[in-house]
Amino acid sequence: MMHPVTEALATGELPSRVWFYSNYHCNLTCNYCFTESSPSVAKRALDPEQILRIARQAADLGYTEFGVTGGEPFLLPYIVDVLKELSGIGPTIVISNGTVFGPRRFARATELAGHDVAIQISLDAAEPDLNDEMRGPENFAKVVDVIPRLVAAGVKVRVATTVEPDRLDEFQHEQLCALHRSWGITDEDHIVRPVITRGRAAEQGMGQRLEFHQFPAELTFSVDGAFWGAFGPSFTDGKLDTDLLLTRTIEPVTTPAAALHRMAGGRPQGADAALGIR
C-alpha cells in the first residue's frame, strides 16, 4: 500500500523538495536575514551523514529535489562533498552569499561542475551602493567577481534578488537582468522575491508578513527539528521561532513528513498558524 505522503507527492499535493539548514553561522550580517545569521552566532550545523541519511529516506518516500541553505553553507569544509552526494539522489540547489570563495573554496566549488547542483547566489541590486546597503561593504564587488568565474568553470549558477516589497516596482530590474545575462545566466535562473518579516527583518520593521498558508509546504530540516517551509527555522531576538515547527523528531523522515501532510491537507485559507509540536 502506498504511503499517504508518497501519494501526496505523486499528485502534487505536497512540494517535492526537501530543505536542509546546513548551518547558521555566516560571514555576513545582512539586515533582513530571517535566521539572524552572522559571524558571531553558533554554527548549529547538521551532521553531514545525517543530511545524506535524511535525503535517502526522503527519496524513498518520493521526494525528488533538495535545497541546502544556512547561514553560509560554504563555510563548512565538507559541504562540496555533501552536495555531490546529494546530487546523486536528486537535483540540488545550495544558497550562498558568494563572498567566501577565496582560492581554496573556489577550487573546491568548481568540483560541482558536471553535477546536478546549482549555486544560488544573492545579488540585490545592479548598483554597488544599493546592494551593499542591504548586505554589507564590498559585497557587490565580490559577487560580480565570482559569479562569471564559476560559470566559466562549468558550475551552474542562479541569481537571487531580495527586495523590500514597497521597492519591487522601482528597483533596477533591467540593469540587473542585463548584468546576469552578460554572465550567461538566463532570466529563468534569476529569482526576485520580497523580504519576509521574520528574524532580523522583523526586528527592523522590514518586509512582508505572510499568513501561514502562504508559505510553501516544503519539508525543511535543521538541528532543531522539522519545519513547514524554508522560512520555518528562523530566529528572532536570538530565539527559535516555533510557529512553523512540525516536529522535534527528525528521523525517521516519515514522522515529520506525515505531520506536514496532515497539516497541509485541506487546510483552510487564513487558518491559525498554531501547531501541535512534538
pTM of the model: 0.92
C-alpha grid cell, residue 213:
498558508
State whether residue 1 is helix, strand or coil: coil
For residue 21, list its beta bridge partners.
69
Q: Band of the pLDDT at 2, cuts 50, 70, 90?
A: confident
For residue 238, how far is the Cα from the chain centroid?
A: 20
Q: Band of the pLDDT at 166, cuts 50, 70, 90?
A: low
Burial call 162-190: b when 16+ CB within 10 Å, e when fewer: bbbeeeeeebebeebbebbeeeebeeeeb
Q: Band of the pLDDT at 167, cuts 50, 70, 90?
A: low
Q: Band of the pLDDT at 277, cuts 50, 70, 90?
A: very low
Q: Band of the pLDDT at 275, cuts 50, 70, 90?
A: very low
Extended strands (E) in the chain: 17-21, 65-69, 92-96, 117-122, 156-163, 190-194, 219-222, 225-228, 235-236, 239-240, 245-247
Asked which of 27-31, 160-164, 272-276 is least confident by mean pLDDT, the reply is 272-276
Dump pLDDT digits (tens) for 190-217. 998 888 889 888 888 887 888 777 889 9
The pLDDT value given to residue 272: 34
Percent of the chain predicted with pLDDT > 90: 76
The mean pLDDT value for 221-234 works out to 96
Report the distance separating Cα 212 and Cα 273, nearest Å. Answer: 5
Least Cα distance to 20 among 197, 217, 218 occurs for 218
- Contacts (Cβ under 8 Å, ≥6 apart) of 100: 27, 72, 74, 75
C-alpha grid cell, residue 16:
517535492
The pLDDT value given to residue 268: 44
The mean pLDDT value for 230-239 works out to 93
The mean pLDDT value for 271-276 works out to 34
